[in-house]
Amino acid sequence: MLIEVKNLYKIYNEGKENEVRALDGIDLQIDRGEFVAIIGASGSGKSTLMNVLGLLDIPTYGEYHLDGDDVTTLTDKKQAHTRNKQIGFIFQGYNLIPALSAAENVELPLIYQGLPIDEREVRVEEALHKVSMFDRSGHKPSEMSGGQQQRIAIARAIATHPPIIMADEPTGALDSKTGKHVLEILHTLHQETGTTVILITHDNSIAATADRVVRISDGKIIYDGPREGAGL
Amino acid sequence: MNLKQAFKIAAKSIAAKKGRSALTMLGVIIGLTAVIILVSFAKGQNKWLEDYYASMVDNSISIYAYKWSMYGSDESVAEDLYSYCQQMSDYLIGVTPMSQVYGNTTIKFGSKTITQDNTDWNSRPQIYLGNQQYTVCQGYTLAKGRDLTYLDVEKLNQVCVLGAKAAATIFDYADPVGQTIYINGTPITVVGLYEDSGLDEYSSKDRVILMPYTLSRLFNGNVDSGQFIAVAKDATSATLAVTMLNGYGKGLVGDNGSFWAENQNQYIDNSNEQSRMQQLFLGGIAAISLLVGGIGIMNIMLVTVTERTREIGIRKAIGAERKSIIAQFLIEACLICGLGGLIGIAIGYLGTAIVCKLVLGFISWPDMTVTVGSFLFSLAMGVIFGLYPAVKASGLQPVEALRAD
């Protein structure tokens, strides 16, 4: 099992009047090569789930095994390595570094991985070709449209060849046509390389493109199964 | 993650944010430039004062007796005083009247004419009138020829002794001894040449043309020797002599302030105190400029904390370790402040050269300790405030850093 989560809680202001249970006892298992959509309304806890799964945030309680390793007890350094090697992130707001060019943004995780320059160049070129953005290598994020920026973000996520891609509302800031294009890239990636894709969305039509759908409400999983029974 | 990579990332980050990097550098540059120029100038001014007082003779006594008669100062007072001084040989090594040729003077030698109008202040010869003891009283050493003698004074011989720079100005380094110059049309034979005292050009000491004071009748119409310079054997003798002279002088002209004798040693003491105060003052101004420059660095660094916190969040999300983020920010701060510091030092040295040359007439280079000290201070400001967002944000969970706005 690639991802195995048991009894996961994320509680803000625990024990106080304004206590919020963003994750309220989540059990979830995701296997290698799956394409999973996590769907829920705004505030349902789906982004919190992704942040915890992606080691961007720590759970209040619960067990989390990633590729067999207990990651809740990892040191800061090991967590950084895990994020770098195992997970590629795609955010709603792209999260590119504005001062760096497209190619430099894509290169960054490879630098942190410690790859030599010639290998980095090959990987950057390959990743940019995959999202059809090679001709924009030298452009700064501010010189690109939202769809283009998101494709650069995808290139950055896949440059390290991670086994898992986590995408938090990747089409949320895009018009439906570019959104569809970005989604197609994720599907192609999934089919061609067998990368596990975890897609967080509030949009039924986007969730409907996934094989498996997990629906979250108030921090709890209320449906987990094939898309056909998800009531999309 | 090794150092080379951190360096590469930092260099990329600086190059990508040229405007901000330049502004930060500006703070360092201004701070360092101001400190270096001010401190060097203070040092130079101090040297100027030191040299000025060094040109004074130890245990020198100035005596002023201004009892004016209808035709100038009272010659009988001056003569009385002069002979009284000469009786004080237990205390004094020498005494000389001192006066100048007043009004516009013209010095001619061959086809060369030196007037107040055609010679700049720094090289214009100064004509002084004294006796055969002028040399010892003013601390000159004879280089060539002979000194003024008692007979020159008594016989009103039309002779002079030249300071080294006066000789250079009039004779262009040719041998002046035996030559005749014309001062206001009066022929004067050069009999001696003083050694160069080694003082800077602003000092008038080496620009002297010394003639017997008795020639004052020729040039000024009277022997206006209301001022005397004496030199005592030692500091104790100087103090005693001043007391005696004041007693005698006041008996002569009355206690109306028209007579005083003073010990020049006190000025040297005063000058030390004065230059110490001045150094403190300029040092204070320099410290403030450095601080203002430092605050400039701090502002720029802190203004970008939010932006940088997001950046740190992104870097953490894609797998940067905390230590590589801190290394990046540390190297960035060092590069910016280091480069800014070097530019500041370069401009500071250039500015020092210009300001000192224009104001003091010579260049006083800054102390290494000041240069290095203020450089390190700027570097420290940059590192402290450059590292602040890195240390703070890199300790956050990535999601918290990403949320910063």
Helices vs. strands in chain B: H and E counts, helices first: 13, 15
All residues of chain A having their beta carbon less than 8 Å from the beta carbon of residue B12 are 100, 104
Chain-centre distance of CA B39, in angstroms?
12
Residue B319 and residue A77: Cβ atoms within 8 Å?
Answer: no
Residue B311 and residue A97: Cβ atoms within 8 Å?
Answer: yes
A16 burial type by CB count under 10 A (0-12 exposed, 13-18 middle, 19+ buried): exposed
Going from N- to C-terminal start, the domains of chain B cover 3-52+270-403, 58-264
pLDDT confidence band for B286 (50 / 70 / 90): confident
DSSP state of A150: H
Q: Provide the pairing of β-strand B186-194 with B180-183.
A: antiparallel
pLDDT at B70: 46
pLDDT at B68: 56
Q: Provide the pairing of β-strand A212-217 with B208-212.
A: unpaired
pLDDT at A52: 94
- Where helices occur in B172-264 by DSSP H, the ranges are 216-220, 235-253
The whole-number average pLDDT for the span B117-129 is 79
Global ipTM: 0.93
pLDDT at B45: 82
All residues of chain A having their beta carbon less than 8 Å from the beta carbon of residue B398 are 55-57, 83
pLDDT at A156: 96
Of A15-24, B140-149, B389-398, the least confident: B389-398
| SS3 of residue B73 by DSSP | strand
pLDDT at B297: 79
pLDDT at B224: 60
Maximal CA-CA distance, chain B: 103
pLDDT at B67: 60
Q: Give the residue from B24, B108, B18, B30 showing the smallest Cα distance to B381.
A: B24
Chain-centre distance of CA A186, in angstroms?
11
Q: What percent of chain B has pLDDT over 90?
A: 20
Q: Is the dihedral of CA B338, B340, B342, B344 positive or negative?
A: negative
Question: Which residue in chain A has the smallest CA separation from B15?
Answer: A99
A74 touches chain B (CB under 8 A): no
pLDDT at B225: 63
pLDDT at B223: 61
- Count of positions (residues) in chain A: 232
Among A77, A83, A104, the residue with its CB nearest the CB of B318 is: A83
Cβ pairs bridging A and B (under 8 Å): 76
Q: What is the mean pLDDT of chain B?
A: 84
> How close, in Å, is residue A231 to chain B by CA atoms?
31
pLDDT confidence band for A91 (50 / 70 / 90): very high
Phi, psi of A151 (to 5 degrees): -70, -35
pLDDT at B201: 64
Residues B16-52: b if buried by 16+ CB within 10 A, e if exposed: bbeebbebbbbbbbbbbbbbbbbbbbbbbbbbbbebb
Q: Which residues, in sequence order, are CB contacts of B235 under 8 Å at separation 6+?
A: B58, B59, B265
pLDDT at B181: 93
Query: Which conformational region is residue A194 in: left (phi greater than 0), alpha (psi within -120 to 50 degrees), or beta?
Result: left
- Interface mutation vs chain B, best among A46, A47, A95, most B CBs within 10 Å: A95
Q: Which residues, in sequence order, are CB contacts of B290 under 8 Å at separation 6+?
A: B31, B32, B34, B35, B374, B377, B378
pLDDT confidence band for A123 (50 / 70 / 90): very high
Instruction: Give the count of beta carbons closer than 10 Å to the beta carbon of residue B269.
Output: 10
Residue B21 has pLDDT above 90, yes or no: no
All residues of chain B having their beta carbon less than 8 Å from the beta carbon of residue A114 are 1-2, 5
Query: Which conformational region is residue B93 in: left (phi greater than 0), alpha (psi within -120 to 50 degrees), or beta?
Result: alpha
Name the residue with tokens 């190619």.
Answer: A103
The full 3-state SS of A166-228, as one line of letters, equals EEECCCCCCCHHHHHHHHHHHHHHHHHHCCEEEEEECCHHHHCCCCEEEEEECCEEEEEEEHH
pLDDT at B264: 79
Residue B315 and residue A96: Cβ atoms within 8 Å?
Answer: no
Q: Provide the pairing of β-strand B60-65 with B259-263.
A: antiparallel
Question: Which residue in chain A has the smallest CA separation from B5?
Answer: A111
B3 burial type by CB count under 10 A (0-12 exposed, 13-18 middle, 19+ buried): exposed
Instruction: Give the count of beta carbons closer than 10 Å to the beta carbon of residue B117.
Output: 7
Residue A27 has pLDDT above 60, yes or no: yes
Q: Give the residue from B332, B329, B331 showing the smallest Cα distance to B389.
A: B329
Q: What percent of chain A has pLDDT over 90?
A: 82
First vs last Cα of chain A: how many Å apart?
27
Residue A80 and residue B317: Cβ atoms within 8 Å?
Answer: no
DSSP β-bridge partners for residue A114: none
Q: Each residue of B346-356: pLDDT tens digit?
A: 999 999 999 88
Chain-centre distance of CA B230, in angstroms?
27
Q: Each residue of B253-285: pLDDT tens digit?
A: 777 667 788 887 777 777 778 778 887 888 888
> How close, in Å, is residue A134 to chain B by CA atoms?
20
- Interface mutation vs chain A, best among B318, B331, B403, most A CBs within 10 Å: B318
pLDDT at B49: 77
H-helix or E-strand spanning residue B300: helix B265-303
**Half-sphere exposure for B330 (CA within 13 Å, toward CB):** 10
Residue B219 has pLDDT above 50, yes or no: yes
H-helix or E-strand spanning residue A77: helix A76-86
Q: Each residue of B74-111: pLDDT tens digit?
A: 666 777 878 888 888 888 889 998 888 877 788 999 88
Q: What is the mean pLDDT of chain A?
A: 93
Question: Which residue in chain A has the smallest CA separation from B16?
Answer: A99
Q: Each residue of A128-165: pLDDT tens digit?
A: 999 999 999 999 999 999 999 999 999 999 999 999 99
Q: 286-315 in B: which are within 8 Å (CB) of A?
A: 310-311, 313-315
The whole-number average pLDDT for the span B108-136 is 84
pLDDT at A97: 92
